[in-house]
Amino acid sequence: MKKSFYQWHRVLGLTALVPVIFWTLSGLSHPFMSNWFRPFIPREVFHPLTQDQMKPVLSLQQVMDQNHILRLRNFSLVNFDRGTFYQIQQSDSTYQYYSAINATILPDGDKRYAIYLARYFTNDTSSAIKSAQLQTTFDGRYQPINHLLPVWKISLDRPDGMDVYIETSQSRMGTFNNNTRKAFLWLFDQFHTWRFLAWMGGEKFRVIVLIVIVAVMLLSLISGLTVYGLFWKRFKEIKQKREANGTVDKRFIHRFHRQIGLIVSLVMFTFVISGGFHLVVKLYNLKPEHRPYHQLITRQELGQSNLRLPVADSVIRRVALVKFNNNVYYQVLDKKKQIQYFRAADHQLLPNGDVVFATYLSQFYHDGPVNGRPAVSQVKQFDNEYGFINKRLPVEKISYPDGENWYIETTTGKLATKVSGTDRAEGLSFIFLHKYFGMAWAGKNIRDIVSMLAALGVLVVSLFGFASFLKNK
């Protein structure tokens, strides 16, 4: 029985050896990528001018009429290159830019605006533009964790190889990478998340393989602790006999493997359990994406001017359009991130408009009957449940009686994320047991050092175990 446990521990440990080396080494690289070697960018948030500072002359209706535009999906006013333009999302979802002064079209307007924003965020007006590409899918350098699509990838011709990803529709940045970060991203993508498995057999195949490997690691850990529990008296007798005889310890590698393994066993449990839980929940959530919310608005539905809204131009940051419940509204975002809705037909205010629209969108994304009356509240800052990883702010939090929270970005009509009881438990276990956010009180540097020491301990135990195996042979 004891010997059987020992043999199984060896088999399981050897099976998990290469994945452990991959995961610990790539895990050691993460603090360098996300903290110490993270590229600096002067600005991370774009602050648009208020409407009175933009000084538009023509209304949206006048621009549409002069350019024979019969329908559109949305619009916004933007100011760049010393001009104010209507950014119009056409029926095919592409963007065209028209002067708010004389309604003339701006050639390559979306590309030019993306370059302007990239220069704004980097505070770089001198470097040449190496390339500007519209990206509609995620890849190894612009990963799904960034959420925003489509984006423009603007590559600056600089020694650091800076790439900036821009979502022009919301005038915001998806992410930014220099050469160092690109190398770390590749390392982490291949050796920690094992993205190559998705290329081989799809995302579901990748997640299942990783779950199997994590299960093997857990069994290896349990069998190792069991072996130590079954043989500890024997180990103690051997030590006492060796000390009494004054003989040289020829099995010190085995002893180090046992002792260090016992010390870091709790750390190994936190990594394995949180990683496995993360993967199982990810597998469960691998479902077809929610159908996107689309709207198409005709010129006839825009009865009143966007420049005559009952809100002072000095507080308006952005005006857009939304269509729901058989009405079209001007969606007005002010300097305090408050959102109001005015019916396009007569400028009538919709009471609690953002709550109404967010509830409408959550019902749309549910794809089925909704049980219970939800509570709605606006979220303006990231927190433990709705973290920075979600990118979008402000959002409306739709809380249902069953414990599900749906986060809706009403300015884009997008479902930012959905959090159920299981998702909430997994998220907390991952940030506290895998990423050590419980040490945030000590500062990011200390937290990263502790997490690296933990990963290093797991790596050392694994290497000592392999050395013990070779020595036995």
CA distance 321 to 328: 7
pLDDT at residue 2, as a whole number: 58
When the pLDDT of each residue in the chain is averaged and rounded to a whole number, the result is 89
* Average confidence (pLDDT) over 342-365: 95
Q: How far is CA 355 from CA 42, 238, 294, 352, in A?
A: 35, 71, 19, 5
CA distance 86 to 95: 10
DSSP symbol at 349: B
Query: Are 220 and 165 part of one and the same domain?
Result: no
Query: Are 11 and 57 part of one and the same domain?
Result: no
Task: Give 162 or 380, the one with higher predicted confidence.
Answer: 162
Task: Give 380 or 255, the one with higher predicted confidence.
Answer: 380
Order the strands of the 375-379 sheet from edge to edge: 375-379, 395-399, 405-409, 414-419
129-135 vs 151-156, strand pairing mode: antiparallel
pLDDT at residue 473, as a whole number: 59
Worst-scoring range by mean pLDDT, 96-105, 223-232, 409-418? 223-232
Residue type, 270: T
Do the beta carbons of residue 308 and residue 316 sit within 8 Å? no
Q: Is residue 184 part of a domain?
A: no
DSSP run (H or E) holding 307: none
Query: Are 123 and 100 part of one and the same domain?
Result: no
pLDDT at residue 182, as a whole number: 93
Query: Are 264 and 302 part of one and the same domain?
Result: no
Q: Is residue 182 part of a domain?
A: no
Domain final position from 143, 177, 211: 177
Task: Give 73 or 32, the one with higher predicted confidence.
Answer: 73
Query: Are 283 and 200 part of one and the same domain?
Result: yes
pLDDT tier, 463 (very low <50, low <70, confident <90, very high otherwise): confident
Q: Is residue 100 part of a domain?
A: yes
CA distance 345 to 323: 12
Tens of pLDDT along 278-295? 999 999 888 877 788 999
Domain final position from 126, 142, 177: 177
Task: Give 261 or 79, the one with higher predicted confidence.
Answer: 79
Do the beta carbons of residue 198 and residue 205 sit within 8 Å? yes
Query: Are 197 and 281 part of one and the same domain?
Result: yes
* Average confidence (pLDDT) over 22-32: 90
Do the beta carbons of residue 107 and residue 99 sit within 8 Å? no
pLDDT at residue 63, as a whole number: 98
Do the beta carbons of residue 29 and residue 187 sit within 8 Å? yes
**Closest among 274, 280, 277 to 432, alpha carbons compared:** 274
| Residues spanned by the domain of 200 | 2-37+192-288+445-472
**Closest among 194, 217, 180 to 29, alpha carbons compared:** 180
Q: Is residue 265 part of a domain?
A: yes
Q: Is residue 335 part of a domain?
A: yes
* CB atoms inside a 10 Å sphere around CB 436: 20
Query: Are 141 and 171 part of one and the same domain?
Result: yes
Query: Are 101 and 114 part of one and the same domain?
Result: no
What are 216's two structure tokens? 């093997």
Q: Is residue 276 part of a domain?
A: yes
The pTM is what?
0.88
Tens of pLDDT along 49-61? 999 999 999 999 9
Query: Are 63 and 79 part of one and the same domain?
Result: yes
With 90 as the cut, is the pLDDT of residue 357 above it?
yes
Q: Is residue 256 part of a domain?
A: yes
What are 27's two structure tokens? 């895990």
Helix 421-429 and helix 252-284, axial crossing angle in degrees, nearest 10: 150
pLDDT tier, 265 (very low <50, low <70, confident <90, very high otherwise): confident
Query: Are 144 and 163 part of one and the same domain?
Result: yes
Order the strands of the 316-324 sheet from edge to edge: 316-324, 327-334, 339-343
Tens of pLDDT along 337-350? 899 999 999 999 99
Q: Is 241 exposed, middle or buried (0-12, 13-18, 19+ CB in 10 A)?
A: exposed
pLDDT at residue 229, as a whole number: 62
Backbone angles phi, psi at 239, to 5 degrees: -65, -45
With 60 as the cut, is the pLDDT of residue 36 above it?
yes
* Long-range contacts, 225-230 (Cβ 8 Å, 24+): 225/262, 225/265, 226/5, 226/9, 227/2, 227/5, 227/6, 227/9, 228/258, 228/261, 228/262, 230/2, 230/5
What are 162's two structure tokens? 């800076």
pLDDT at residue 246, as a whole number: 58
Query: Are 331 and 301 part of one and the same domain?
Result: yes
CA distance 255 to 232: 11
* Average confidence (pLDDT) over 247-268: 74
pLDDT at residue 103, as a whole number: 96
pLDDT at residue 197, as a whole number: 93
Q: Is residue 410 part of a domain?
A: no
With 70 as the cut, is the pLDDT of residue 208 above it?
yes
**Closest among 178, 215, 213, 221 to 194, alpha carbons compared:** 213
Query: Are 197 and 224 part of one and the same domain?
Result: yes
Domain final position from 133, 154, 177: 177
Helix (H, G, I), strand (E, B) or coil at 318: strand
**Number of domains, the chain:** 3
Q: Where on the phi/psi map is residue 455: left (φ > 0), alpha (ψ -120 to 50), or beta?
A: alpha
